[in-house]
Chains A and B, each alone.
Chain A
Amino acid sequence: MSRYLLPLLAFGALIALLSIGLGMDPRRVPSPFIGKPAPAFDLPQLQAPDRRLTQEDLRGRPVLLNVWASWCVACRHEHALLTQLATERQIPIYGLNYKDPRADALRWLEVWGNPYVVIAADEDGRTGINYGVYGVPETFVMDANGIIRYKHIGALTEQAITDRILPLLADAVGDRMP
């Protein structure tokens, strides 16, 4: 009997390893920016192109930076959740409008509503590249010191908000430097 025990154990371990692997989403690649200062950007504001938005404007309180585009279908799915966060919880959400013609983006906001404090227009996608964006929508959690704490890839879900984003935002407030 014992001669079967070892192969059986090895087989069991392999099955365990593979089933963990099955549960992982290969699209969620850990961001190398976690714990690092937000990369610099200086972009025109979508709704007032003569004014700029930089990463400095995001400092001072924990914020979300949401990368979206009017051509992005999943962005519409998370839109209600973003609106809820902005209105019911008063969380400042900044937008990074990624590779989107200005007119399209403005029309999208008109149709679906605007949960953002300010939106930066990243028409050529260079800032997106500097932030390692590869799957719109993406949502960054930044603390009061402008450090990236978390990145959510894909449409936000209620679970992601309650389990990860809200606790992180609360924690990021406590960390604020005097």
Chain B
Amino acid sequence: MLLRSLVIALCLSFSLPVRAADTPLKFDDPAMEQRYHALLSELRCLVCQNQSLEDSHAELAQDLRAEVHGMMSRGSSDTEILAFMVQRYGDFVLYRPPVRTGTWLLWLGPFLVLLIGTGVAFRFSRSRNRGAAKPLSEEEQAKLRQLLQATGDRDRE
């Protein structure tokens, strides 16, 4: 029992500095605050890659949030801050990377697939329609009449 409370006390004492480091940074000016959050949601946290800098609790994300906060306080523009991040972590840090030779497939790929898909669907439906619209030959007409007659006779029985 004593051991357990000791362990809990130990864990709590470790968690205190973590909480302190995670206090959110704020701007008094609501416009700045909005800009700050917009910027953070545009940037990927490289430690937990499916989270933005806004959401991530990774220590690096906290440091980078502080960096963004500091740069904004010193009057840096959004472009400057994004360039700072790209210079260090590459295009991957941006959720919307710029279109360049390495990323054109990323941007145009979905449209390319859509185009191919539409083409295939169009051709498929056309070939089906063509088959259905073809009129019956003389021979087929005769066979059809014969069949209809046969079923008609059966129904009457």
Contact = CB atoms under 8 A, between A and B. Distances in A.
Interface of A: 26-27, 29-32, 99, 125, 129-132, 134-135
Contacts of B47: 134-135
Contact of A129 (B49, B63, B86, B90): B63
B63 A32 contact: no
Looking at chain B's contact residues, the main secondary structure is helix
Interface string B75-97: 00000000000111110100000
Contact of A99 (B59, B86, B88): B59
A134 B90 contact: no
B89 A32 contact: yes
Contacts, number: 32
Given A29-B46, A31-B90, A129-B88, 4 more contacts: A29-B89, A30-B92, A125-B60, A134-B46
Interface in B66-115: 67, 86-90, 92
A27 B49 CA distance: 8
Contacts of A26: 49
Contact of A29 (B64, B87, B92): B92
B39 to A, nearest CB: 16
Band of interface residues on B: 10 to 19
Find the residue from A27, A31, A125 having the highest chain B CB count within 10 A.
A125
A27 B92 CA distance: 11
Given A129-B63, A129-B67, A29 B90 contact: yes
A31 B86 CA distance: 10
24 contacts: A26-B49, A29-B46, A29-B89, A29-B90, A30-B90, A32-B87, A32-B89, A32-B90, A99-B59, A125-B60, A125-B63, A129-B63, A129-B64, A129-B67, A129-B88, A131-B88, A132-B88, A132-B89, A132-B90, A134-B46, A134-B47, A134-B60, A135-B46, A135-B47
Contacts of A129: 63-64, 67, 88
Nearest to B49: A26
Those 8 A-B pairs whose CB atoms lie nearest each other, nearest first:
A134-B46, A132-B88, A32-B90, A29-B92, A132-B89, A125-B63, A134-B60, A134-B47
Interface in B31-66: 46-47, 49, 59-60, 63-64
Interface string B15-29: 000000000000000
